[in-house]
Amino acid sequence: MYLFTLLGNLLIMGTIWREHSLHTPMYLFLCALSISEILFTVTITPEMLVDMLSTHHSITFVACASQMFFSFMFGYTHSFLLMIMGYDRYVAICHPLHYNVLMSTRDCARLVSWCWAGGSVMGMMVTLIVFLLTFCGSNEIHHFFCHIFSLLKLACGRDTASLTLAVILVCVTALIGCLFLIVLSYVFIVAAILRIPSTEGRHKTFSTCVSHLTIVVVHYGFASIIYLKPKGPRSMDSNILMTTTYTVFTPFLSPIIFSLRNKELKNAIKRSFRRTFCPLNS
């Protein structure tokens, strides 16, 4: 699954890079999303797999902080990219005549840069808040990697409750903010689609949003369960399982969903394969 995640996202990136017909804002954002998923997977999964298979389960303080920073950085970059992909679909469907002006190459590059910058700030903020806490007693983390809630359970001291609340508010506010803007984009998109007179036209227009919408449901479905589910001793094991599934399964699903649901990308992948392996027939 780890290798498939890397190969699937690399295939999408390579196809978009090679096919000039895919040099559009939507596929630029998809390429940036694939990069974030590759980096997220490379940062978290290998260390987690080694730890699961090893008999000596340990991690240094610096490595734990780095793992948390990169997981939040790439995770929130992913959320921000999904948000601007929703905005891209909104502009394409609701304001098609102004699309080239509003979504120029420079503007798209600027939006992607802001997503990465925002993800970096979120990762740094959460990591600093967590590692400003005082840790005492056991140093055993009940998780496969340095997950935030497992670390918060080891914290002690006077400011633990307030800093824990601050972490949760930062995480949830950013996620809900992104989700709200995505939902708002789709409210306008659905309203515009319903005004299209023909059924075929409505279906064709909505089909351009299906893959993005599916990824949003998967991403925010897992994230809401992890961050909004009430925490208790009985929920610890299920939370570990859900977090691990989210970490491994979401990047694995993305290339499958985009390559299967997006006809233009699927055809471009086929053309790319034919040119690579059957150059005489292309």
Which tokens sit at 117?
């910058």
- Give the residue among 193, 215, 208 at the shortest CA–CA distance from 79: 215
Q: Do the domain assignments include residue 88?
A: yes
Could you tell me which residue, 76 or 265, shows the higher pLDDT? 76
Q: Which residues contact 265 (CB under 8 A, 6 or more apart)?
A: 12, 15, 16, 22, 27, 30, 258, 259
How far apart (Å, rounded) are the C-alpha atoms in residues 33 and 41?
12
pTM here? 0.85
What pLDDT is recorded for position 228?
62
Residue that is written with structure tokens 């351009």 in the block: 208
Q: Where are the beta strands (DSSP E) in the chain?
A: 134-135, 155-156
CA 255 from centroid of its chain's CA atoms: 12
Q: What is the predicted pLDDT for the residue at 279?
A: 60
Residue 100 lies in a domain: yes
Q: Shortest CA distance to 144 belongs to which of 225, 247, 62? A: 247
Q: pLDDT digit string (tens) for 109-134? A: 999 999 999 999 999 988 888 887 77
pLDDT in tens, 239-264: 566 666 667 777 777 877 877 667 77
Distance (Å, rounded) from C-alpha 244 to C-alpha 144?
A: 8
H or E element that contains 28: helix 25-53
Q: Do residues 93 and 187 touch, judged by C-beta distance below 8 A? A: no
Task: Dig out the tokens for 178 from the structure.
Answer: 């992104």
Burial degree of 197 (CB within 10 A; 0-12, 13-18, 19+) = exposed
> Would 212 be classed as within a structural domain?
yes
Question: Is 282 domain-assigned?
Answer: no
- The number of distinct structural domains making up the chain is 1
For 56, the domain range is 2-277
Please name which of 150, 144, 139, 143 lies closest in space to residue 231, comparing C-alpha atoms: 150
Q: How far apart are alpha carbons 127 and 90 in whole angstroms?
A: 34
Q: Which residue has the tokens 């969903």?
A: 257
What CATH number has the domain bearing residue 131? 1.20.1070.10
